[in-house]
Amino acid sequence: MAAGEGDLKLLGLLVSPFVVRVRMALSMKGVSYEYIEQDIFNKGELLVRYNPVHKKVPVLIHNGKPVCESLAILEYIDDIWGTTGNSVLPADPYERAIARFWANYIDDKMFPSWIGLLKAETEEEKAEKVNQTLAVLMHLEDAFALCSNGKAFFGGDSVGYLDLALGSNLFWFEALRELFGVAFIDEGRTPLLASWAERFGEAAAVKEMVPSVDKALEHAKKFRAFFAAAAAK
Protein backbone atom coordinates (compact mmCIF):
# COMPACT_ATOMS: atom_id res chain seq x y z
CA MET A 1 0.00 0.00 0.00
CA ALA A 2 1.39 3.41 -0.94
CA ALA A 3 1.81 5.94 1.88
CA GLY A 4 -1.19 8.04 0.87
CA GLU A 5 -3.66 5.17 0.43
CA GLY A 6 -6.13 3.62 2.82
CA ASP A 7 -8.76 4.82 5.18
CA LEU A 8 -8.89 8.53 6.04
CA LYS A 9 -11.19 10.20 8.56
CA LEU A 10 -11.25 13.69 9.98
CA LEU A 11 -12.80 14.56 13.33
CA GLY A 12 -13.74 18.21 13.11
CA LEU A 13 -15.91 21.14 13.97
CA LEU A 14 -17.20 23.04 10.93
CA VAL A 15 -16.42 26.51 12.32
CA SER A 16 -12.99 25.77 13.83
CA PRO A 17 -10.20 27.59 11.94
CA PHE A 18 -7.92 24.70 12.93
CA VAL A 19 -10.23 22.25 11.19
CA VAL A 20 -10.91 24.55 8.23
CA ARG A 21 -7.19 24.80 7.38
CA VAL A 22 -6.87 21.01 7.37
CA ARG A 23 -9.91 20.63 5.11
CA MET A 24 -8.48 23.26 2.77
CA ALA A 25 -5.15 21.40 2.59
CA LEU A 26 -6.87 18.07 1.86
CA SER A 27 -8.94 19.81 -0.79
CA MET A 28 -5.76 21.33 -2.34
CA LYS A 29 -4.34 17.82 -2.56
CA GLY A 30 -7.60 16.39 -3.93
CA VAL A 31 -7.66 13.79 -1.16
CA SER A 32 -11.05 12.33 -0.17
CA TYR A 33 -11.90 11.44 3.42
CA GLU A 34 -14.79 10.86 5.75
CA TYR A 35 -15.64 13.97 7.75
CA ILE A 36 -17.09 13.40 11.24
CA GLU A 37 -18.45 16.50 13.01
CA GLN A 38 -17.83 16.63 16.77
CA ASP A 39 -19.75 18.33 19.57
CA ILE A 40 -17.04 20.26 21.40
CA PHE A 41 -19.36 21.27 24.22
CA ASN A 42 -20.05 17.63 24.97
CA LYS A 43 -17.04 15.64 23.84
CA GLY A 44 -17.76 12.22 22.46
CA GLU A 45 -16.03 8.89 22.65
CA LEU A 46 -14.16 9.26 19.33
CA LEU A 47 -12.45 12.48 20.40
CA VAL A 48 -11.49 11.08 23.78
CA ARG A 49 -10.14 7.89 22.19
CA TYR A 50 -8.14 9.52 19.40
CA ASN A 51 -6.91 12.67 21.15
CA PRO A 52 -6.83 11.63 24.83
CA VAL A 53 -4.32 14.33 25.79
CA HIS A 54 -6.10 17.45 24.52
CA LYS A 55 -9.51 16.08 23.40
CA LYS A 56 -9.52 18.74 20.69
CA VAL A 57 -10.31 18.86 16.98
CA PRO A 58 -8.97 18.40 14.36
CA VAL A 59 -7.86 14.79 14.48
CA LEU A 60 -6.86 13.18 11.20
CA ILE A 61 -7.16 9.40 11.42
CA HIS A 62 -5.10 7.66 8.75
CA ASN A 63 -5.52 3.88 8.64
CA GLY A 64 -6.63 3.94 12.26
CA LYS A 65 -3.72 6.07 13.51
CA PRO A 66 -4.49 9.59 14.78
CA VAL A 67 -2.55 12.75 14.00
CA CYS A 68 -3.46 15.71 16.23
CA GLU A 69 -2.72 19.48 16.16
CA SER A 70 -3.60 21.27 12.96
CA LEU A 71 -0.10 22.51 12.06
CA ALA A 72 1.36 19.02 12.57
CA ILE A 73 -1.47 17.69 10.38
CA LEU A 74 -0.57 20.15 7.60
CA GLU A 75 3.03 18.92 7.73
CA TYR A 76 1.80 15.31 7.68
CA ILE A 77 -0.44 15.97 4.67
CA ASP A 78 2.53 17.44 2.83
CA ASP A 79 4.72 14.48 3.81
CA ILE A 80 2.17 11.87 2.72
CA TRP A 81 0.62 13.53 -0.35
CA GLY A 82 3.66 15.62 -1.26
CA THR A 83 3.67 14.78 -4.91
CA THR A 84 -0.06 15.52 -5.38
CA GLY A 85 -0.87 19.14 -6.26
CA ASN A 86 1.08 22.07 -4.85
CA SER A 87 3.24 21.72 -1.74
CA VAL A 88 1.80 23.10 1.46
CA LEU A 89 5.19 23.98 3.04
CA PRO A 90 7.74 26.04 1.07
CA ALA A 91 10.52 23.95 -0.52
CA ASP A 92 13.31 26.22 0.75
CA PRO A 93 14.47 25.43 4.31
CA TYR A 94 14.73 29.07 5.33
CA GLU A 95 11.29 29.93 3.96
CA ARG A 96 9.96 26.86 5.73
CA ALA A 97 11.44 28.03 9.04
CA ILE A 98 9.90 31.47 8.59
CA ALA A 99 6.52 30.00 7.69
CA ARG A 100 6.60 27.81 10.82
CA PHE A 101 7.51 30.83 12.95
CA TRP A 102 4.57 32.89 11.73
CA ALA A 103 2.09 30.01 11.83
CA ASN A 104 2.94 29.52 15.51
CA TYR A 105 2.58 33.26 16.00
CA ILE A 106 -0.93 33.12 14.50
CA ASP A 107 -1.97 30.27 16.78
CA ASP A 108 -0.24 31.49 19.94
CA LYS A 109 -0.95 35.22 19.67
CA MET A 110 -3.65 35.98 17.09
CA PHE A 111 -6.16 33.24 17.87
CA PRO A 112 -6.21 33.84 21.66
CA SER A 113 -6.70 37.57 20.99
CA TRP A 114 -9.77 37.31 18.79
CA ILE A 115 -11.34 34.39 20.61
CA GLY A 116 -10.78 36.42 23.79
CA LEU A 117 -13.15 39.00 22.33
CA LEU A 118 -15.94 36.40 22.42
CA LYS A 119 -15.14 35.62 26.05
CA ALA A 120 -14.78 39.26 27.16
CA GLU A 121 -17.36 40.43 29.68
CA THR A 122 -16.65 44.14 30.00
CA GLU A 123 -16.19 46.88 27.38
CA GLU A 124 -12.66 47.34 28.70
CA GLU A 125 -11.80 43.69 28.14
CA LYS A 126 -13.30 43.85 24.66
CA ALA A 127 -11.25 46.92 23.76
CA GLU A 128 -8.10 45.19 25.02
CA LYS A 129 -8.72 42.11 22.86
CA VAL A 130 -9.51 44.23 19.81
CA ASN A 131 -6.27 46.17 20.26
CA GLN A 132 -4.26 42.97 20.75
CA THR A 133 -5.70 41.48 17.56
CA LEU A 134 -5.00 44.65 15.60
CA ALA A 135 -1.40 44.75 16.87
CA VAL A 136 -0.85 41.13 15.86
CA LEU A 137 -2.24 41.84 12.39
CA MET A 138 0.19 44.74 11.95
CA HIS A 139 3.00 42.24 12.49
CA LEU A 140 1.36 39.89 10.00
CA GLU A 141 1.13 42.72 7.46
CA ASP A 142 4.92 43.02 7.72
CA ALA A 143 5.24 39.23 7.54
CA PHE A 144 3.28 39.21 4.28
CA ALA A 145 5.69 41.71 2.70
CA LEU A 146 8.60 39.55 3.86
CA CYS A 147 7.22 36.12 2.89
CA SER A 148 5.34 36.83 -0.34
CA ASN A 149 8.23 38.65 -1.99
CA GLY A 150 5.81 40.64 -4.12
CA LYS A 151 3.82 37.55 -5.12
CA ALA A 152 0.13 36.83 -4.54
CA PHE A 153 0.35 34.64 -1.42
CA PHE A 154 2.49 34.08 1.67
CA GLY A 155 3.46 30.86 -0.11
CA GLY A 156 4.42 32.65 -3.36
CA ASP A 157 2.34 32.00 -6.49
CA SER A 158 -0.04 29.59 -4.80
CA VAL A 159 -1.74 29.08 -1.44
CA GLY A 160 0.58 27.46 1.11
CA TYR A 161 1.02 26.67 4.82
CA LEU A 162 0.93 30.23 6.13
CA ASP A 163 -1.94 31.21 3.84
CA LEU A 164 -3.93 28.32 5.32
CA ALA A 165 -2.87 29.16 8.88
CA LEU A 166 -4.11 32.75 8.63
CA GLY A 167 -6.77 32.36 5.93
CA SER A 168 -8.70 29.79 7.96
CA ASN A 169 -9.50 32.61 10.43
CA LEU A 170 -10.91 35.06 7.85
CA PHE A 171 -14.57 34.04 7.98
CA TRP A 172 -14.43 34.62 11.73
CA PHE A 173 -13.20 38.17 11.14
CA GLU A 174 -16.36 38.74 9.09
CA ALA A 175 -18.46 37.39 11.95
CA LEU A 176 -16.62 39.58 14.48
CA ARG A 177 -17.25 42.59 12.26
CA GLU A 178 -20.98 41.89 12.40
CA LEU A 179 -20.90 41.31 16.15
CA PHE A 180 -18.57 44.11 17.27
CA GLY A 181 -18.34 46.47 14.30
CA VAL A 182 -14.57 46.13 14.05
CA ALA A 183 -12.73 45.45 10.78
CA PHE A 184 -9.59 43.52 11.68
CA ILE A 185 -8.23 43.54 8.14
CA ASP A 186 -8.86 46.68 6.12
CA GLU A 187 -7.37 48.61 3.25
CA GLY A 188 -6.30 51.55 5.36
CA ARG A 189 -4.36 49.77 8.09
CA THR A 190 -3.37 46.49 6.45
CA PRO A 191 -3.51 47.04 2.68
CA LEU A 192 -1.37 44.01 1.80
CA LEU A 193 -3.47 41.64 3.93
CA ALA A 194 -6.67 43.19 2.58
CA SER A 195 -5.82 42.37 -1.03
CA TRP A 196 -4.32 39.00 -0.02
CA ALA A 197 -7.57 38.11 1.79
CA GLU A 198 -9.52 38.77 -1.41
CA ARG A 199 -7.22 36.56 -3.47
CA PHE A 200 -7.27 33.87 -0.79
CA GLY A 201 -11.07 33.84 -0.77
CA GLU A 202 -11.09 33.32 -4.54
CA ALA A 203 -8.62 30.40 -4.57
CA ALA A 204 -10.50 27.37 -5.91
CA ALA A 205 -9.50 24.64 -3.43
CA VAL A 206 -9.98 26.98 -0.51
CA LYS A 207 -13.30 28.58 -1.47
CA GLU A 208 -15.50 25.52 -1.06
CA MET A 209 -14.21 24.90 2.48
CA VAL A 210 -15.01 28.32 3.94
CA PRO A 211 -17.96 28.05 6.36
CA SER A 212 -20.69 30.69 6.09
CA VAL A 213 -20.53 33.72 8.37
CA ASP A 214 -23.97 32.67 9.67
CA LYS A 215 -22.52 29.40 10.92
CA ALA A 216 -19.82 31.34 12.78
CA LEU A 217 -22.42 33.70 14.28
CA GLU A 218 -24.52 30.77 15.41
CA HIS A 219 -21.48 29.13 17.01
CA ALA A 220 -20.42 32.43 18.62
CA LYS A 221 -23.80 32.54 20.39
CA LYS A 222 -23.35 29.01 21.80
CA PHE A 223 -19.74 29.72 22.67
CA ARG A 224 -20.59 32.89 24.61
CA ALA A 225 -23.40 31.15 26.47
CA PHE A 226 -21.01 28.33 27.36
CA PHE A 227 -18.40 30.75 28.69
CA ALA A 228 -20.92 32.85 30.55
CA ALA A 229 -22.23 29.68 32.25
CA ALA A 230 -18.70 28.58 33.14
CA ALA A 231 -17.84 32.05 34.51
CA ALA A 232 -21.02 32.09 36.60
CA LYS A 233 -20.09 28.85 38.36
Residues forming the site for a copy of itself (CB under 8 A): 3, 53, 62, 65, 67-69, 71-73, 75-76, 79-80, 93-94, 96-98, 100-101, 104-105, 139
Residue (65 or 233) nearer to a copy of itself, CB: 65
In angstroms, give the least distance from the CB of 79 to a copy of itself: 4
Residue (94 or 232) nearer to a copy of itself, CB: 94
Residue (93 or 150) nearer to a copy of itself, CB: 93
In angstroms, give the least distance from the CB of 217 to a copy of itself: 30
- How far is it, in rounded angstroms, from Cα 225 to Cα 194? 32
In angstroms, give the least distance from the CB of 88 to a copy of itself: 13
Residue (81 or 171) nearer to a copy of itself, CB: 81
Identify whether the C-beta of residue 17 lies closer than 8 Å to the C-beta of residue 107. Answer: no
- How far is it, in rounded angstroms, from Cα 27 to Cα 206? 7
Bridge partners of 11? 36, 59
Q: What separation in angstroms does the CA of 71 have from each of 4, 21, 75, 189, 230?
A: 18, 9, 6, 28, 29
Cα 47 → chain centroid: 19
Residue (69 or 174) nearer to a copy of itself, CB: 69
In angstroms, give the least distance from the CB of 100 to a copy of itself: 4
Q: 90 in helix, strand or coil?
A: coil
Nearest to 164 by CA among 57, 108, 84, 89: 89
- How far is it, in rounded angstroms, from Cα 115 to Cα 18? 13
In angstroms, give the least distance from the CB of 212 to a copy of itself: 31
